[in-house]
Amino acid sequence: MSAPPPAPAYTAPLPSVKRMSRSGSSSRYAASNNEAQLVSPSSEYPIKRQRITHSPLNTHDDEQPTSIQPQSAFTMQPFTHTSVSMSDEIGMVQVSGGSSIMALQWKGGKLGCAYYTQEYRELHVMDDVIERSPADFATQLIQEINPRIILLEYNADDILSLVQSIDGEIQVEKLQGKDFGYEHGRYSLISWFAQINDDNEAASDNATHHHVYCEDPYDGRKRKTNLQLQCMINLDSIVSIGCAGALLTYIDKLEDYTNRPIGNEMAPQDLALRPVSLRSFSSNQYMHVSNIARRVLGIFEKDVHPNTHQKRNKESLSLFGLLNHTVTPIGQHLLQSWIQRPTLDLNVLEYRHTAISHFSTNDTVALVKELRGHLKHIKNIPRMMSMIRENRATVHDWQQLLQFAYYSMRIQTSLASMDLTKELQVTQKIKSAMGTEKLRRVGSAINDMIDFEQSRHEGRVVVKENVDEHLDKLRETYDNLEPVLLQVAQEISQRMPPELATTCNVVYFPQLGYFVAVTREYEQMFEYNLGLPPDFRLQFTTDANAYFKNDRTNELDESLGDNHGMIIDREIELVQYLTEELSTYFSDLLAMADACAELDCLLSLAHAARIHEYVRPEMTEENKIEIHQGRHPIQEMCVDVFIANDAYLVGGLGKASSDVSTTHIENSTTTQQHHENETASIALLTGANYSGKSVYLRQVALIVYMAHVGSFVPASSAVIGLTDKIFTCVQTIETVSKLVSAFALDLQNLSQAARDATGRSLVIIDEFGNGTDAADGAGLLCATLEHFLSKGEQCPKVLAITHFHELLAHNIISPTEHRIKLLTMEILSQSCTIQSSSSQSKQQADEVVFLYRVVPGSRACNSYGAWCASIAGIPTPIVQRALELSHLIDNNKQIRPIYSKERQAKLDAIEDIALKLLESQVTNDTLETIRQWVKDLDQVL
């Protein structure tokens, strides 16, 4: 590292107190925080002052660091590990955001969006999307990004009502229409990006900079920035560029303390918010999955802490919980974004699957363990880098940066030992992000500059000895201050009364200077100035002492000055110099952090694949889903034995590839059935309750979802075609905030699927129509399936469950050109005899054994609801009565109500008398008998 800059002319005082007594004893009062302090005249307790920072100093990348041996470059100073605070972790994008600002605009049939993430200070700009209505896609964006603040135009009533209908605490800020203008947005982006480039160029003078030369230098700078922006985002996205401009305008206002919205907690006064990087965000890059679909499939599930005052949540049993074995906060945040937004890029999926395939083998178990051990020491590097940029870094931040540099080198060494026929892309990223020599320079510069042991002791960043000659001289003067103050105290005490001389001390207060301290035992002498030298001037008093200034202490102020303050100010200058020295490597360090986060995610997915026995799916452009022996990843964790099942669906017209399928459907026992399996776009599943239909439905969707995340899948083999959207009409998630019925919510989900599903979409429908009249529900389901088939090449892959057996019994739905296949859940049943609840007669019923296997065909006669009710613990008399009523209805027989024994006896007696009356003839001989019957009837009634 090059020589530190010379000492500044101005030095600010810093916290420490040195007191010298006449007897030679000394005591030091050091500040315990990282900010400069002084001693208040009214007390001996320190109070804070602002630290003075100095202008950055340019450094050169070709300057060599201090000569050290590689073995000692990273000699880690012993320190005590403390628990990482919440600010160190990314809890955040819990998967789910919480610190993002989003700008939305719908204009001219196009939806634009830009959003900003506080964790990484990144600005994301999306390509414009053509939408007839902004409702569906805007809802998807809001649910995925999960912003805290949404910026809208004043007249954006449609989007405002949409935001208000979404669950969650979202703050809406309205801006003027001109803030969303394209020219304003383009100018704001160019100005901001040019400033970022200027800051990066200023950090390194010897870097190669490309310029566009024009007569007007400003015009050349503008053209250069415009060219660079066009390489990163689509500047033709007029609406999204306007959103980006509005977002930058709002962030500028947030950074200005006087213009911040009242009550806004997002931007503390000392926190920089302006973005430092730019990313594109295209809707075609990710699979469309609604927030309701994620909850239905169990993608994320938070387990709320029982203590209402504890805000930290943990992931419950969910897909993210199964796959998340990351050991770094940045890795967890990245994995959460992968799972939240499955990708449609085959190259990305191939890259992830290849890496997982390598890291999940038995040969790499030791390597993976070693890599995960190194990654555990990497914390929230982007947050720490931001603290260092803003000169607010603590000793803990510098320690984290040193650890990051050291363990990054260890990771590179471990990856270099891998025996690969073809190098993995993640290893290339780690090697190219930042070389070993640069990492060594960073580590050496920090390790040679900062004394971590002393820094933890004093609660601030302390510079090592022999780093700066001027600093060493200041420290030497401070260390030799004790005999000087003792000698001065002895000189002053000779001119004082004996009773005061014994209590006389000379003390040093940072920023205040040197004082004569005398005990307050003789306070009356102070008041009347009895026995004190004439040059003594009382400055302030404490409970124990009175402090005076005299000519001798004034001489000390002039000759020695605020020595301890100058020491710490010089250390601040040196740390600032270190920051500027390392600023050349900031972009490389962030790239290295991104690469380590990606490695952490891949190792996490590989670990999950190995322990759960997942396999690599084959991703293809073909529009089909072919799963052999698939399993539900979450459900299999809750049972001892899970029955695997196959699945085969083809989108569009339902014509599969002419290639021979690599997976054979074992349940297809005939050529006809196998042909149906290869060409069907819609699978209609029936079967008994409790037979596993809903689990199978979610299982197929989850396997498709996992494959697009880049994870291995729970199956023996799987071929998954790219799927752009997953729609679910599975269960109603009711809320009092929506004034609609449960069936209306089901209709909304089905309407979205019918309107937006494409030939590459997957639609799962679970018992739709149960919330309304059976005839209406069956008709709606049948019409919806016909609508999907009528879309031809745009027919999605549909997997539906129904208990409307009449659709199959009356051939309302039947295989049409093999585009619909019928499936059922296999069961074993045998007849058993049960006692009727209303009589002494006995009836035949079925005893059911669920096999949980999906087989071709349909079971359109019985759902075994009464049997399932018995398993669920419904009282036996109710189950018996249900079977009896079901038997009577099926055979079109009269349903007799059930009465009590007394009531039944009355009815039987009345019926007997009535029959006798009807059968008898009224004559003189029978008249008396009839009268008796009438009396009996009257008694019964």
pLDDT for residue 38: 28
Q: Is there a contact between 540 and 355 (Cβ–Cβ < 8 Å)? A: no
Amino acid occupying residue 734: E
Residues 338-351: pLDDT tens digits?
998 899 999 999 99
Average pLDDT for 220-234: 72
Token representation of residue 135: 């409702």
Distance CA 386, CA 523 (A): 54
Q: How far is CA 216 from CA 213, 222, 223, 347, in A?
A: 8, 10, 11, 43
**pLDDT greater than 50 at residue 11:** no
- The reply to whether 97-291 and 296-465+579-612 are identical in fold is no
Calpha distance 724→731 (Å, rounded)? 22
Residue 42 has pLDDT above 50, yes or no: no
396-451 confidence digits (pLDDT tens)? 999 999 999 999 999 999 998 877 656 788 999 999 999 899 999 999 999 999 99
Cα-based torsion angle of the residue sequence 531, 534, 535, 537 in order, rounded to the nearest 10 degrees: 60
Contact (CB, 8 A) for 673 and 824: no
At residue 838, the pLDDT reads 46
Q: Which overall architecture, per CATH, does domain 296-465+579-612 show?
A: Orthogonal Bundle (1.10)
Residue 18 has pLDDT above 60, yes or no: no
Is the pLDDT assigned to residue 700 strictly greater than 50?
yes
Q: How many residues does the chain have?
A: 941
What would the pLDDT profile of 269-307 be if each residue is shown by its tens digit? 445 678 888 887 656 678 888 778 888 999 988 766 556
Locate 715 and state its tokens.
């199956």
List strand residue ranges (DSSP E) for 614-768, in order. 618-620, 624-630, 645-650, 682-686, 717-721, 725-729, 762-766
> Which helix (H) or strand (E) element contains residue 649?
strand 645-650
Task: Of 59-68, 651-660, 837-846, give the lowest mean pLDDT range.
Answer: 59-68
pLDDT digits 0-9 by tens, 813-831 = 766 656 888 898 888 876 5
Q: CA angle at residue 907 from 904 to 908, to 5 degrees?
A: 85
What is residue 701's predicted lDDT score, i.e. its pLDDT? 96
Q: Does the pLDDT of residue 80 top 90, yes or no?
A: no
Q: Could you give the 3-state DSSP secondary structure of residue 699?
A: helix
**Can you tell me the distance from the alpha carbon of 683 to that of 798, in angstroms, rounded to the nearest whole number?**
6
DSSP character at residue 900: -
8-state DSSP, 319: H
Higher pLDDT, 846 or 330: 330
% of the chain surpassing 70 pLDDT: 74
Rounded to whole angstroms, the Cα distance separating 316 from 351 reads 29
Q: In sequence order, which residues have a C-beta less than 8 Å from that of residue 363 and are 6 or more positions away? A: none
Query: Residues 82, 452: contact at Cβ < 8 Å?
Result: no
Q: Give the Cα separation of 7 and 23 in Å (integer).
A: 36
Which segment of 6-15, 299-308, 492-501, 782-791 scores lowest on mean pLDDT? 6-15
* Burial class (CB within 10 angstroms; exposed 0-12, middle 13-18, buried 19+) of 813: buried
Domain 97-291: give its CATH code: 3.30.420.110
* Dihedral sign (CA 290, 291, 292, 295): positive
Q: What is the rounded distance in angstroms from the CA atom of residue 887 to the CA atom of residue 90?
A: 60
Q: How far lies 262's CA from each of 249, 253, 590, in Å?
A: 17, 12, 34
Classified as helix, coil or strand, 175 is strand
Q: How many CB atoms lie within 10 A of CB 58?
A: 13
| Highest-confidence segment of 212-226, 402-416, 491-505, 743-757 | 402-416
Whether residue 630 is predicted with pLDDT greater than 50 in this model: the reply is: yes
Q: What is the DSSP code (8-state) at residue 188? A: H
Reported confidence tier of residue 915, pLDDT bands at 50, 70, 90: confident
Q: What is the pLDDT of residue 217?
A: 52
Q: How confident is the model at residue 78 (pLDDT cuts 50, 70, 90)?
A: very low
Whether residue 123 contacts residue 277, with contact meaning beta carbons closer than 8 Å, is answered with: yes
pLDDT at 75: 34
The pLDDT value given to residue 438: 93
Which helix (H) or strand (E) element contains residue 800? strand 797-801
- What is the band of 844 on the pLDDT scale with cuts at 50, 70, 90? low
Tell me how far apart the alpha carbons of residues 40 and 35 are, in angstroms, rounded to a whole number.
Answer: 15
Q: What angle do CA 828, 831, 836 make, to 5 degrees?
A: 135
The predicted pLDDT at position 352 comes to 96
> Distance between CA atoms of 654 and 18, rounded to whole angstroms?
87
User: What average pLDDT does the chain have?
Assistant: 77
pLDDT score, position 29: 31
**So what's the pLDDT on residue 4?**
55
CA distance 616 to 434: 31
pLDDT value at 10 more than 50: no
Q: Pick 502 or 258 by higher pLDDT.
A: 502
Q: CA of 246: how far to CAs of 110, 128, 258, 268, in Å? A: 17, 16, 19, 21
Q: What integer pLDDT is reported at residue 543 of this predicted model?
A: 84
Give tens-digit pLDDT for 724-779.
999 998 866 666 655 567 777 788 788 888 888 999 999 999 888 777 777 787 88
DSSP code string of 115-128: EEETTTTEEEEEPP
Q: Does domain 16-49+468-564 have CATH number 3.55.50.30?
A: no
Residue 318's alpha-carbon distances to 94, 127, 168, 487, 593, in angstroms, are 14, 32, 21, 73, 27
Predicted pLDDT at 578: 94
Task: Give me the pLDDT at residue 534, please.
Answer: 82
Over 60: is that where the pLDDT of 155 sits?
A: yes
- What is the token pair recorded at 526? 């102070």
CB of 482 closer than 8 Å to CB of 22: no
pLDDT of residue 597: 95
Q: Tell me how crowded residue 438 is: count the other CB atoms within 10 A of its CB.
A: 18
pLDDT score recorded for residue 643: 94
* Sequence spans of domains, the chain: 16-49+468-564, 97-291, 296-465+579-612, 618-826, 901-940
Whether residue 708 contacts residue 701, with contact meaning beta carbons closer than 8 Å, is answered with no
Q: What percent of the chain shows pLDDT beyond 90?
A: 31
Residues 6+ positions from 939 with CB-CB distance below 8 Å: none
Residue 475: per-residue pLDDT? 86
Strands (DSSP E) along 349-448, which ranges?
none
For the record, the structure tokens of 527 come out as 């008041």
Distance CA 820, CA 795 (A): 12
Choosing among 3.40.190.10, 3.40.50.11720, 3.30.559.30, 3.40.50.300, the CATH entry for 618-826 is 3.40.50.300
The pLDDT, as a whole number, for residue 423 is 77
The average pLDDT across 310-325 equals: 80
Q: Do the bridges between strand 149-153 and strand 545-549 make them parallel or antiparallel, or are there none, so unpaired?
A: unpaired
Confidence of residue 63 (pLDDT cuts 50, 70, 90): very low
Residue 164's CB is within 10 A of a number of other CB atoms, namely 10
CB atoms within 10 A of CB 693: 22
809 pLDDT more than 80: no
